[in-house]
Amino acid sequence: MNTPAPYRQPVPGSTAARRAALRARAQARTTQVPGAGTSRTTAAGQAPPDPPSPAPTSSAQGPLRQPSSTDRYGSDVLSADPHRVGPAAVRPQSAPLRVSRGLVVEDRQTGFVGAVVAVEKSGGQHLVVLEDRHGTRRAFPLGPGFWVEGRPVLLEPPAPARRRPTGPRSASGRRLTASGSYAVEGEETGAAKVARASRIWVEGRHDAELVEKVWGDDLRHEGVVVLLLEGVDNLARVMAEFAPSPTRRAGVLVDHLVAGSKESRIAQEVAAMPGGDNILVLGHPYVDVWQAVRPERLGLRAWPQVPHGTDIKHGTLEALGWPHDSQADVAHAWKRILGRVHSYKDLEPSLLGRMEELIDFVTAPGTR
């Protein structure tokens, strides 16, 4: 039968002895009154008094104090690396700095020193052009690797200059959109909102480009998307797929919507479809949207009359004496026509009223 060995005191100087001394010292600290230096005794079952509240941290006293010439570590040694931050830093970190004309910069790798004379963009990256005192110019990629006044910097492109808004204005000075409505102040030009469920359709690409140029700002502000029908013959199918409802409306702009035309017959059929009350089909009397541009904007007294059965675009170009043999000629001619349109004043009233009515229809209260 094994018997326990008698307890022996640890050998002085051994690891066990050092550990015992540390435990005794820690126990002695916990039984002393803070600041008094004397031991305290507590009655059995009586809780000792609460310890003093800790001193407020630096965050409660305000922002952390950064290293300086008189205080190498600042208020918190862990908040900043004194080797990278502060006047005593031996490897200071690069500070971001926007480039400005006339700023004197040194390239660390080559030692070239010069004043900034230009910032260019080449090969997808920004280059800063420096000119030294001899008139020699060299270009360097923006970024790290530069010194300014003996400190490393990370050069950044200059801040973009804010341009004053241009365009038409009302008599009181308020900015107007190309459609003649008041522009929403404080709203970034061209910024789109979340798209509405309601939509507007136009027949072709030229219609869409003309609508965008005149009503683009209004449509983006309202969140209305304009889609292509690719021909009025597709109207019934597109509306059936869209499935309009009282809160999800459809507006349609078609060419040559006059009594007895194919377009008017299709519009009547669509109005009789289920949900037809939520579809509004409007149009202008012209065979093609080109003719909705005021002819005087192109130096014409009137648009030429094209014989029935002749393609309206090719016939118009031929009558005007413009190139008309290929589709590229048609595209070039439309670009020329669209370039003469700057606002609603360049369009015929028969188109203006219909488009405004369609926008009001799909943005009416209760729609989404």
Does the pLDDT at position 159 exceed 50? yes
Strand partners, 105: 114
Tokens 């230096």 sit at which residue? Answer: 37
Q: In the predicted model, what is the mean pLDDT of residues 208-222? A: 93
Q: Residues 6 or more apart from 193 whose CB is under 8 A from it? A: 220, 221, 222, 223
Does the pLDDT at position 52 exceed 80? no
DSSP states of 236-251 = HHHHHHH--BTTB-EE
pLDDT at 354: 95
Categorize the per-residue pLDDT at 45 as very low, low, confident or very high, splitting at 50, 70 and 90. Answer: very low
Q: Residue 246 burial (CB < 10 Å; 0-12/13-18/19+)?
A: exposed
Give me the percent of the chain exceeding a pLDDT of 70: 73
Return the H-helix or E-strand segment holding 58: helix 58-61
Q: Given CA atoms 150, 151, 155, 156 in this order, what sign does their dihedral have?
A: negative
Higher pLDDT, 297 or 151: 297
pLDDT at 273: 93
How far, in Å, CA of 2 to CA of 118, rounded? Answer: 92
pLDDT at 205: 94
DSSP states of 208-264 = HHHHHHHHHHHHHHHT-EEEE-SSGGGHHHHHHHH--BTTB-EEEEES---TTSHHH
Written as six digits, the tokens of 103 are 């700023």
How far, in Å, CA of 365 to CA of 98, rounded? Answer: 48
Written as six digits, the tokens of 56 are 């407020």
pLDDT at 321: 95
Categorize the per-residue pLDDT at 125 as very low, low, confident or very high, splitting at 50, 70 and 90. Answer: confident
pLDDT at 44: 43
Categorize the per-residue pLDDT at 4 as very low, low, confident or very high, splitting at 50, 70 and 90. Answer: low
Tokens 């683009």 sit at which residue? Answer: 216
Our CA angle for 312, 315, 316, nearest 5°, is: 80
pLDDT at 88: 59
Phi and psi torsions of 288, nearest 5°: -135, 150
Per the CB < 8 A criterion, the answer to whether 367 and 196 are in contact is yes
Say what the pTM is. 0.56
Does the pLDDT at position 127 exceed 70? yes
* Of the candidate ranges 161-165, 203-207, 210-214, the one whose mean pLDDT is the lowest: 161-165
DSSP states of 131-193 = E-TTS-EEEEESSSSEEETTEEEEEEPPPPPPPPP-S-B-TTS-BB-TTSSBPPTTSPTT---
Does the pLDDT at position 365 exceed 70? yes
Categorize the per-residue pLDDT at 73 as very low, low, confident or very high, splitting at 50, 70 and 90. Answer: low
Higher pLDDT, 6 or 173: 173
Strand partners, 296: none
How far, in Å, CA of 281 to CA of 362, rounded? Answer: 12
Q: What is the pLDDT of residues 77-103, one digit of tens each?
A: 555 566 656 565 656 677 889 999 999
Region label for 173, one of left (φ > 0), alpha (ψ between -120 and 50) or beta (otherwise): left
Q: What is the pLDDT of residues 327-348, one digit of tens each?
A: 999 999 999 999 999 999 999 9
Written as six digits, the tokens of 113 are 């020193």
Higher pLDDT, 44 or 346: 346
Q: How far is CA 84 from CA 34, 95, 106, 122, 171, in A?
A: 39, 11, 20, 33, 59
Does the pLDDT at position 285 exceed 60? yes
How far, in Å, CA of 37 to CA of 29, rounded? Answer: 9
Rg (CA), the chain: 40
